[in-house]
Amino acid sequence: MEEREFDVVVIGAGPVGEVAAGRMTAGGLSVAVIEEELAGGECSYWACMPSKALLRPVELVEAAKRIQGVRGAEVDPAAVLARRDKVVKRTPDGGHDDSGQTEWVRSICAEFYRGRGRLAGERRVEVLSGGEVSQLLTAKHAVVLATGSRPTVPPIPGLREAEPWGSREVTNVDVVPDRVVILGGGVVGCESAAMLAGLGSSVTLISRGGLLDRNEPWAGELVADGLRSQGVNVRTELQVSEVSRAADGTVTVKAGDEAFVADQIVSALGRRPATAGIGLESVGLDASKAVDVDDSLRSTQLPWLYAVGDVNGRNLLTHMGKYQARACGDVLVARAKGEPDGSPKLTAYADHEKTPQVVFTDPQVASVGLTEKAARERGYDVRVVDYDIGWVAGASLVADDYTGKASMVVDEKRGVALGFTFVGQDVAELLHGATVAVTAEVPLETLWHAVASYPTVSEVYLRLLEAYGL
Ligand SMILES: Cc1cc2nc3c(=O)[nH]c(=O)nc-3n(C[C@H](O)[C@H](O)[C@H](O)COP(=O)(O)OP(=O)(O)OC[C@H]3O[C@@H](n4cnc5c(N)ncnc54)[C@H](O)[C@@H]3O)c2cc1C
Ligand SMILES: NC(=O)c1ccc[n+]([C@@H]2O[C@H](COP(=O)([O-])OP(=O)(O)OC[C@H]3O[C@@H](n4cnc5c(N)ncnc54)[C@H](O)[C@@H]3O)[C@@H](O)[C@H]2O)c1
């Protein structure tokens, strides 16, 4: 079989693999990209894009209810689903059209292979189509893994047999179920509850802990309040013991001494790196774990192997994966050309303590950096200040009786912010200012001079600094 050589072979053309390939071809490297499903990955068709397309109209209608003088806003489920279809390029047969993305891959002068990529020894990759090896590729410099993640279905008795929906089915829903039970109080569980309730389902959300437990504890409580006011039956600290599906399709979920009956069940119980079936064993790596990488995204075990995005398990977020991809792409260009590879731009250090995330529930949760608990665990000299966003003049104009909260976690030794959390309507767009402050480690006394316009919600930064004592 003909074997082709490229400088770099990228396995996976999700958002992260695509960005890595783009940086490398721009830097003059020859690159092959292999994709087994759809170029654009989970994010474009089954995750970020459709979920936000469904959530936005729901959020707008809820916002309209919170302001005197607006009448008649309502969700039109059929039109919302049709708009989602456009966003995810749905085809008449229910599939998705990724031609725009494959054309983009070709436009950056990368070679696109449709098939499954599998490592077959050092710097060698097989492309499989229909189970057969259709092409052998060798990488002169490196193989980049960008295979993403897969949902996990824990061994809850009866869950797998009940054939639960996952996030793919929720985000691509065509017929909205009347009654749904969602398992999992993480981001997927909370966003799914908000979107299905907004589209008309009667939703029960069950979490064994609180909601959004990686955030400040009060953030999850405010989201629980918001979901309840959308009509969601939020049940926290409740462990599911058994799931069963009857012949008529009805699902029963047993938890504690209660039974919840629904037409559909959603499993939103986490994701794990997609490391299975990609040949990691052929190069001596353990396929049951994320691919461990350093800050240049290079495997800590094999100098020619890189892993970016969900597959390395660092931060399962599109923007962080793409950030890693830029570092990885650029560092590979530098290393291939024998140029210096140590500049800060070539390392993904923001992965550790400076990661931003927005949860698009109503209220939204926008956070960056460390929570109070995480900061204390890392040994920082911590002080936390918080402020009720509803007291900010700008917020009172955004919504009548605006409900929300902001907090700032400060490293007292250096006088810089380690983290911010905002919960409330439309706080997503507040976040980047906080991300700049945390990433650049701006002294609070300097942040004081970043004056927010009146009357915007951003004046919450001033209020936090005043609460701190400036
Ligand atoms: C419901 C949901 C909503 C989300 N919303 C957000 C959000 O709002 N914001 C955010 O930042 N993140 C969000 N995320 C997370 C985000 O989707 C992921 O972090 C992101 O998709 C990771 O990108 P990736 O390229 O690493 O992986 P993926 O998007 O999973 O892409 C990996 C690609 O690799 C391909 N592939 C896998 N194995 C092989 C192989 N062996 N050969 C060839 N191709 C292969 C796959 O087919 C896929 O196309 C959400 C996730 C979910 C589930
Ligand atoms: N807006 C966004 O940024 C966004 C949206 C969706 C997903 N994502 C990303 O996707 C990833 C996956 O999200 P997720 O919500 O599936 O995972 P998650 O890890 O955030 O939440 C999983 C939930 O399942 C629960 N759980 C796990 N095992 C369980 C068990 N055996 N029994 C009962 N409960 C159990 C956990 O306690 C948790 O509540 C996240 O890392 C997230 O960052 C991001």
For residue 393, give the CATH number of its domain.
3.30.390.30
Interatomic CA distance for residues 27 and 386, integer angstroms:
45
Average pLDDT over residues 49-70: 97
Residue 254 CA to ligand 2 centre (angstroms): 20
Average pLDDT over residues 232-256: 97
Interatomic CA distance for residues 291 and 271, integer angstroms:
15
Q: From the CB of 230, is ligand 1 less than 6 Å away?
A: no
Domain carrying residue 437: 363-468
Q: From the CB of 191, is ligand 2 less than 6 Å away?
A: yes
Kindly state the percentage of the chain with pLDDT values over 90: 99
* Owner of token pair 């600094």: 465
178 and 293 belong to one structural domain:
no
Q: For 121, phi and psi rounded to 5 degrees?
A: 100, 180
Interatomic CA distance for residues 292 and 396, integer angstroms:
47
Average pLDDT over residues 79-89: 98
337 and 395 belong to one structural domain:
no
Q: From the CB of 171, is ligand 2 less than 6 Å away?
A: no
Average pLDDT over residues 325-351: 97
Q: Identify whether 249 is part of a domain.
A: yes
345 and 462 belong to one structural domain:
no
* Residue 312 pLDDT > 80: yes
Report which bound ligand comes closest to the CA of 270: 2
Which residues lie closer than 8 Å to 78 by C-beta, 6 or more apart?
none
Which residues lie closer than 8 Å to 244 by C-beta, 6 or more apart?
158, 161, 162, 251, 252
* Residue 175 pLDDT > 90: yes
Domain's final residue, options 350, 380, 408 = 350
Q: From the CB of 47, is ligand 1 less than 6 Å away?
A: yes
142 and 194 belong to one structural domain:
no
Residue 84 CA to ligand 1 centre (angstroms): 18
Q: Identify whether 82 is part of a domain.
A: no
144 and 284 belong to one structural domain:
yes
Q: From the CB of 184, is ligand 1 less than 6 Å away?
A: no
Query: What is the band of 79 on the pLDDT scale with cuts at 50, 70, 90?
Result: very high
175 and 241 belong to one structural domain:
yes
ipTM of the complex: 0.98
Domain's final residue, options 319, 350, 381 = 350
* Residue 411 pLDDT > 90: yes
The pLDDT value given to residue 1:
76
The pLDDT value given to residue 149:
98
Domain's final residue, options 269, 301, 326 = 269
Q: Identify whether 318 is part of a domain.
A: yes
* 167 Cα nearest atom in ligand 1: 1
Kindly state the percentage of the chain with pLDDT values over 70: 100
176 and 238 belong to one structural domain:
yes
Q: From the CB of 146, is ligand 1 less than 6 Å away?
A: yes
CATH number reported for the structural domain that contains residue 221 in this entry:
3.50.50.60
The protein residue with its alpha carbon nearest to ligand 2, atom 21, reads 186
> What tokens appear for 266 in the block?
């959603």
Average pLDDT over residues 278-299: 97
The protein residue with its alpha carbon nearest to ligand 2, atom 2, reads 359
Residue 149 CA to ligand 1 centre (angstroms): 6
The protein residue with its alpha carbon nearest to ligand 1, atom 47, reads 37
Q: From the CB of 360, is ligand 2 less than 6 Å away?
A: yes
* Owner of token pair 């919450």: 460
250 and 184 belong to one structural domain:
yes
* Full 3-state SS string of the chain: CCEEEEEEEEECCCHHHHHHHHHHHHCCCCEEEEECCCCCHHHHHCCHHHHHHHHHHHHHHHHHHCCCCCCCCCCCHHHHHHHHHHHCCECCCCCECCHHHHHHHHHCCCEEEECEEEECCCCEEEEEECCEEEEEEEEEEEEEECCCEEECCCCCCCCCCCCCECHHHHHCCCCCCCEEEEECCCHHHHHHHHHHHHCCCEEEEECCCCCCCCCCHHHHHHHHHHHHHCCCEEECCCCEEEEEECCCCCEEEEECCEEEEECEEEECCCEEECCCCCCHHHHCCCCCCCCCECCCCEECCCCCEEECHHHHCCCCCHHHHHHHHHHHHHHHHHHHCCCCCCCHHHCCCHHHHCCEEEECCCCEEEEEECCHHHHHHCCCCEEEEEEEHHHCHHHHHHCCCCCCEEEEEEECCCCEEEEEEEEECCHHHHHHHHHHHHHCCCEHHHHCCCCCCCCCHHHHHHHHHHHHCC
Residue 61 CA to ligand 1 centre (angstroms): 29
214 and 248 belong to one structural domain:
yes
* 189 Cα nearest atom in ligand 2: 15
If one counts the domains in the chain, the total is 3
Q: Identify whether 59 is part of a domain.
A: no
| Among 190, 212, 218, residue whose Cα is nearest residue 362 | 190
> Would you say 390 and 402 are in contact if contact means Cβ atoms under 8 Å apart?
yes
216 and 132 belong to one structural domain:
no
Q: Identify whether 54 is part of a domain.
A: no
Q: Identify whether 111 is part of a domain.
A: yes
Q: Identify whether 68 is part of a domain.
A: no
117 and 159 belong to one structural domain:
no
Report which bound ligand comes closest to the CA of 49: 1
Calculate the average pLDDT of the chain. Answer: 97
Query: What is the band of 56 on the pLDDT scale with cuts at 50, 70, 90?
Result: very high
Residue 292 CA to ligand 1 centre (angstroms): 18
Q: Identify whether 61 is part of a domain.
A: no
Q: From the CB of 359, is ligand 2 less than 6 Å away?
A: yes
137 and 277 belong to one structural domain:
yes
Average pLDDT over residues 361-381: 98
The pLDDT value given to residue 154:
96
pTM given for the model: 0.98
Average pLDDT over residues 370-396: 98
* Residue 2 pLDDT > 90: no
Average pLDDT over residues 260-264: 98
Strand order in the sheet with 382-388: 356-359, 364-369, 416-424, 405-411, 382-388
* Owner of token pair 């969700």: 75
